[in-house]
Amino acid sequence: MTAYDTKNIFVINRQRLLKLNSDKIKLLARYVLENEKISNDVGINLMFVRNNIIRKYNKSFLNKDNPTDVISFEGNINDGSAGDIIISVEKAAEYAAQNNINVNEEIARYVIHGILHCLGYEDIIDKERRAMFKRQEELLRKWIIRGPN
């Protein structure tokens, strides 16, 4: 089993709706980066918020006045950062409840989705969206089977 180096994976929790396990989130992020062939020297920042905060970011950066699940900002891998990701735990909780999914699984899905966006995956065109979601679900399934160790 691989030991994951999470020294440059940062988790910022700006919400109190759900208790998050920052260590597992960091391990998941490194797992995704490693599976996408990204060097251990490259880090990423993940911020977890409520709907009201992600709505402000969505309006400021994407001109959309509504809360969303994930917003990703690509970094520069050559400078050591894959990017920054903002995740709404409230959206994850809402979706999980509506679809009878474990909320931690849904948050993991959002983490993977955000990282894939930072690495250049797109989900606007149907063909690209299918490829991205296929990769996202493949990584999530492997992560769940493998576990965070």
- Say which CATH number the domain at 21 has: 3.40.390.30
pLDDT band at residue 79 using 50, 70 and 90 as cut-offs: very high
The answer to whether the beta carbons of residues 25 and 111 sit under 8 Å apart is: yes
Whether residue 1 lies inside any domain: the answer is no
Whether residue 2 lies inside any domain: the answer is no
Whether residue 4 lies inside any domain: the answer is no
pTM (predicted TM-score): 0.95
Instruction: Express each pLDDT in 27-62 by its tens digit.
Output: 999 999 999 999 999 999 999 999 999 999 999 999
Residues 149, 43: Cα–Cα separation, whole Å:
19
Q: How many domains does the chain have?
A: 1
Instruction: Express each pLDDT in 107-124 by its tens digit.
Output: 999 999 999 999 999 999
Whether residue 75 lies inside any domain: the answer is yes
Whether residue 76 lies inside any domain: the answer is yes
**Angle at alpha carbon of residue 99, lines to 103 and 137, rounded to 5°:** 70
For residue 67, the enclosing domain spans: 9-146
Whether residue 111 lies inside any domain: the answer is yes
Q: Is the pLDDT of residue 149 over 80?
A: no
Residues 34, 13: Cα–Cα separation, whole Å:
23
